[in-house]
Amino acid sequence: MHFFCVSCFCFLFLRRSFTALKMTKRILFISIILFTSSFFFSFASDKYESPGFPPAVVELAESLSSRLGMAITDEDNLDLYEFVSQWIGTPYRRAGSSKKGVDCSGFVTNVFRSIYDKNLERSSASMLRVNCDTINKQELHEGDLVFFWTRGQSSKTPSHVGVYLKDGKFAHSSTSNGVIISNLSEPYYARRWISGGKVK
C-alpha cells in the first residue's frame, strides 16, 4: 500500500512537471514568435517608409505640376521650376532681359544668375563656346542647356538656347510665344538641334 501511494505521488508530480514544462515551452515559443514578428515589421517599416517631405514642399510640387503641365516631384529642383513658372508668358523682346520682354539668352542668364548664382555669356553662341562642355541628348539633366540653330540654313553655330528641365522638356523664350516650355521631340526643334551644354 505504501509503495502504491508513493508511485501515485511520483506519477502526479511527474505529470504536473511535464505539463508545466510544456506550458513553459509554449510560452517561450510564443515569445520568440512575437519578438521575431515585431523585429520584422520594424525592419520593413524602416526600409519602406517614405523619407517624408514637409507638407509645404509637397503642396508646392503639386502646384507647379498643375501650372507647368508636367509631373514635378519633391525631389526636383523646385526653385528652378518656380522661377520658370513666374516667367511663363513673358513676351519675347530682342536683347531684353526683364519681365517686360526677354530673348532666349536673356532668359537663360536670368535663370542661372537667380538659381545657380552663375553669370553666363549674353549670346547663345558664346554660352556654348565659353560656358559649357558639350553633351548629347542622352546626357541631359535638369539645369543643362540646349542649343539650336534657327536662322538660315543648317549651322553648327547656335542662335537659340533654352534650359533643360526633365522628360525631354525645356524652358526658353521663343520669338513667337515668349517664355514657354517645349519638347525636344517637336519636329521644329528636333531638326534644328545642335548640342546640349553642361555649364562649367
Phi and psi dihedrals of 147, rounded to 5? -120, 145
Residue 2 among the catalytic residues: no
Catalytic position from the list 8, 132, 141, 160: 160
Our answer to whether residue 160 is catalytic in this structure is yes
List of E strands, the chain = 97-98, 101-102, 132-135, 145-148, 160-166, 169-174, 178-183, 193-199
For residues 129 and 146, give the distance between their C-alpha atoms in angstroms, rounded to a whole number: 13
The catalytically annotated residue of 8, 132, 141, 172 is: 172
The 8-class DSSP code of residue 90 comes to: P
Task: Tell me the C-alpha to C-alpha distance, in Å, between residue 195 and each of 15, 54, 139, 157, 199.
Answer: 87, 37, 11, 10, 13
8 is known as an active-site residue: no
Per-residue cell: 52: 517624408
Q: Which residue in the list 5, 8, 10, 104 is annotated as catalytic?
A: 104
Q: Which residues are catalytic?
A: 104, 160, 172
